[in-house]
Amino acid sequence: MGNLADYIESYLKRLLESAAEGVIEIQRRELAERFRCVPSQINYVLATRFTHDRGYIVETRRGGGGYIRILRLSFGSDQDLASLIQTEIGDDISARRADALLIRLEDEGLLNENDRAFVKAVLARETLRVHPSYRGVVRASLLKAMVMALLRQ
Amino acid sequence: MGNLADYIESYLKRLLESAAEGVIEIQRRELAERFRCVPSQINYVLATRFTHDRGYIVETRRGGGGYIRILRLSFGSDQDLASLIQTEIGDDISARRADALLIRLEDEGLLNENDRAFVKAVLARETLRVHPSYRGVVRASLLKAMVMALLRQ
DNA sequence: AATCGAAAGGTCAGGAAAGGTCAAAGCCAG
DNA sequence: CTGGCTTTGACCTTTCCTGACCTTTCGATT
């Protein structure tokens, strides 16, 4: 965790933590200055870390008085987690999206680092055994089953 | 026990011993330099000594600031349990045998009635989605993953 | 109202810095 | 002297970071 993108990511997440509404508004130029980097680095961080899959929505506005607004979507405790997981994962999921979901669950404090790594490793290994065209389906099954099993505790 | 791979293995294990969390993070290039070998030698050590079966999880990241993270699953004596589960279930299992195994685990007090029913239900539901000729394989994957997840607690 | 310039933010391609893969050569116990 | 671990090296993929150039918005000036 030693690169710039990681630092910027955790800075933004800290800001989000302390923001009551789960929304923050920043200026790209200002943030770039704080980290002494090029402004487009901020876009890189947003594009790779604050994706929809990981549970964020990013809105921006150009021009004078422009801004970048980052909104964190929460799973909310109201809904039945099982059906939420079901719809979130579906019947077929890519390795990338599976990973994003696991990171999101970790961010939400629903899984710890160990469990996340465990699930990821099992997915990688088990998925290798089946024919490539079935991997998405098998991955989805495994992911749902394991996440549900772990969340039951 | 005089070869390079063994030295690297024991070096990493020593690091893991002294790491509080059972997790270490290294750089492949740096480690290769320390042992004066090519970087791919590190991959060899990881692939042969730090396997899932032996209770390790390895996560890596490429690119600038990349790393290799080795995580030791510390479920003490359950380590044997993991490989036992593996050999017991194998790569392909029938619904009947899966059921029998679950009952046995319940009898042994490793799973409670609830968990057993849960696993059984998931197996039934998820295997339906895949082509019949793949069901045994998918069932085995799911079963292993879920049982391990549940037993980890 | 139309125009223009300044002040945002956006896009994209390229180079550098990791780590990954695979096959061939090397080594050694049996 | 052969089969199975080791070790190496050539080549590949992913991730990060920057810089050049583009688009949008706002407000002041005509």
pLDDT tens digits for range A42-59: 999 999 999 999 999 999
Q: Give the pLDDT of residue B77.
A: 43
Contact A5, A44 (CB under 8 A): yes
Between the two ends of chain B, the Cα-to-Cα distance in Å is 36
Q: Give the pLDDT of residue B55.
A: 86
Angle between helices B78-89 and B135-151 (to 10 degrees): 170
Q: What is the mean pLDDT of residues A134-152?
A: 90
Contact A135, B104 (CB under 8 A): no
Structure-token pair, residue B34: 């320390």
Q: Name chain B contacts of A129, Cβ cutoff 8 Å.
A: 91, 137, 141
* Mean of per-residue pLDDT scores for chain A: 92
Q: In angstroms, what CA-CA distances link A84 with A35, A76, A93, A94, B86?
A: 37, 10, 15, 18, 31
Report the residue of B85, B89, B142, B153 to disrupt the A interface, i.e. the one with the largest count of A CBs within 10 Å: B142
Contact B145, A140 (CB under 8 A): no
Query: Whose CB is within 7 A of strand D?
Result: A 3-6, 37-38, 40-41, 44, 48, 61-66; B 3-6, 37-38, 40-41, 44, 48, 61-66
Give, in degrees to the nearest 5, the angle at Cα B24 between B23 and B28.
145
CA of B30 to C1' of D12 (A): 21
Q: What is the pLDDT along chain B (153 residues), one digit of tens a residue?
A: 689 999 999 999 999 999 988 899 999 999 999 999 999 999 999 999 999 888 899 999 999 999 999 999 865 445 567 777 878 888 889 999 999 999 999 988 888 999 999 999 999 988 888 888 888 988 998 999 899 888 876
Calculate the CA B153 to chain-centre distance.
15
Nearest nt to the CA of B60 via C1' is C19
Residue A26: strand pairing partners:
A68
CA of B65 to C1' of D14 (A): 12
Output A33 or A76, whichever has higher pLDDT: A33
Is B79's Cβ below 8 Å from some Cβ in A? no
Q: Give the pLDDT of residue B56.
A: 93
Q: Is the pLDDT of residue A17 over 90?
A: yes
pLDDT in tens, A57-116: 999 999 988 999 999 998 876 567 888 888 899 999 999 999 999 999 999 999 999 999
